[in-house]
Amino acid sequence: MKPSAVWHPFTQHATEPEPLLIRRTEGAYVETADGARLLDAISSWWVITHGHRSPRIIEAIRAATETLDQVIFAGLTHEPAEALATALVEMAPAGLDWVFYSDSGSTSVEVALKMALGFHRNTGAARSRIVIMEHSYHGDTIGTMSVGARGVFNAAYDPLLFDVDTIPFPVAGREQDTLDRFEALTRDGRAAALIVEPLVLGAGGMLMYPAWVLTELKRIAERSGTLLIADEVMTGWGRTGTLFACEQAGIAPDILCTSKGLTGGAIPLAATLATDAVFRAHFSTDRAKTFFHSSSYTANPIACAAGLANVAIWRDEPVADRVAALSRMQAEKVARFAGDPRFENVRTAGTIAALDLRVAEAGYLAEVGPKLRAFFLERGLLLRPLGNVIYVLPPYCVTSADLDRLFDAVDEAADLVRRG
């Protein structure tokens, strides 16, 4: 067989085994070429919400191809994009009245950063600093790497990255340090925006913080004239227990980024939602104030049709009940490890469960990471631990029996690690 020419993401080809060939997906499972079924316990990198090949979404994609394919979105529009934008404005936190489409989580954040800087430039404010949270991750483009934590992910590209100001992660018991630092950074009037992952920092280790911290960050931002960007690419569409994580803090950001679950995970699409004030800063007879951003596939009609089908599922079906049920299951099943000396920081946020395996070498490059991944695959489980951090982020159709089998395997893996 001819060797593959594919260069895979986040893959060290010199040490990783050959990628498994997937022939079929359905529900909470993916099936390999030899017929093995793997429980997709990470929703294929956090995108699958209702389950693989959700019938209503797949049918919407099929129907859209009967009349439309890609249409340039500068000077033209189409019904799927118009209808989806209307739905997103209705579903998102109040005040987010404008929808700008792109095609990935990273680009939705790039759009948000450019909107924030454009807002201040066009309104005559000398604000250009971006404030970020320690351990954050917002994507792999230049702008999104710049506003993420510096480390192994982006060390090679440091010459390309711009400087930012950082507030500490709100560690339990020391949350005020985070708020005090943000307030201090806003005093000189140079902060253009604070960008945060609401409630859960994903790639940074599934780190979780309480909603009241986000509420206070928004209060400080408002008082200082700093825009708040909520990166809900991962946390949106029910992952933290509500449609958007911001709801739990009772806030509406100035700009909100969404992708991943926007189409139920079936096809790429992203959107950046903004307030009328942000839009109006770019609305002018002076064409130099135009928002200069696009991608070739902006508002792809087929992707927008998938997004509309996802919205319909949320409106017509008891998705909130499914999310609540999964949230309860995750909390109940991970509770067996609370106080277990093999683990620390056992935690949940809505449908997400995470726990840190105690090892001598922790962190993203911990040697135990690839070994855990291989162990779980042998047991029919698709998990990608973040080094020694094991997290479970499944589709909402996962069953209690599925999770029992998964957490039994986590238990077994911890015993094997302990025995060396």
State both tokens at 357: 């395996």
Q: What is the pLDDT of residues 287-326, one digit of tens each?
A: 999 999 999 999 999 999 999 999 999 999 999 999 999 9
Does residue 148 share a domain with residue 227?
yes
> Is residue 48 one of the residues assigned to a domain?
no
pTM of the model: 0.97
> Is residue 31 one of the residues assigned to a domain?
no
The span from the CA of 105 to the CA of 332, in Å, is 31
SS3 state of residue 71: coil
66: β partners: none
Does residue 281 share a domain with residue 144?
yes
Does residue 392 share a domain with residue 246?
no
> Is residue 8 one of the residues assigned to a domain?
no
pLDDT attached to residue 1: 63
**2 vs 124, which has greater pLDDT?**
124
Does residue 345 share a domain with residue 271?
no
Average confidence (pLDDT) over 407-420: 94
Q: What is the DSSP letter of 296?
A: T
pLDDT attached to residue 131: 98
Does residue 355 share a domain with residue 296?
no
pLDDT at 72 over 90: yes
pLDDT at 140 over 80: yes
- For 217, the domain range is 58-316
SS3 state of residue 2: coil
Mean pLDDT of all residues in the chain? 97
Does residue 281 share a domain with residue 295?
yes
Q: What is the pLDDT of residues 237-284, one digit of tens each?
A: 999 999 999 999 999 999 999 999 999 999 999 999 999 999 999 999
Nearest by Cα to 18 from 29, 34, 39: 34
Does residue 279 share a domain with residue 183?
yes
Q: Where are the alpha helices (DSSP H) in 138-231?
A: 142-146, 175-186, 211-224
Does residue 355 share a domain with residue 306?
no
pLDDT attached to residue 323: 98
Average confidence (pLDDT) over 374-394: 98
Would you place residue 2 in the very low, low, confident or very high pLDDT band (cuts 50, 70, 90)? confident
Please report, for the domain that includes residue 377, its CATH number. 3.90.1150.10
Total number of domains constituting the chain = 2
Per cent of the chain over pLDDT 90 is 98
pLDDT at 33 over 90: yes
Average confidence (pLDDT) over 212-227: 98
Does residue 353 share a domain with residue 243?
no
Does residue 235 share a domain with residue 303?
yes
The span from the CA of 210 to the CA of 323, in Å, is 19
Domain end residue (candidates: 316, 337, 372): 316
Does residue 344 share a domain with residue 209?
no
Average confidence (pLDDT) over 225-237: 98
Domain end residue (candidates: 316, 344, 370): 316
pLDDT at 74 over 90: yes
Average confidence (pLDDT) over 72-97: 98
Does residue 329 share a domain with residue 232?
no
pLDDT at 420 over 90: no
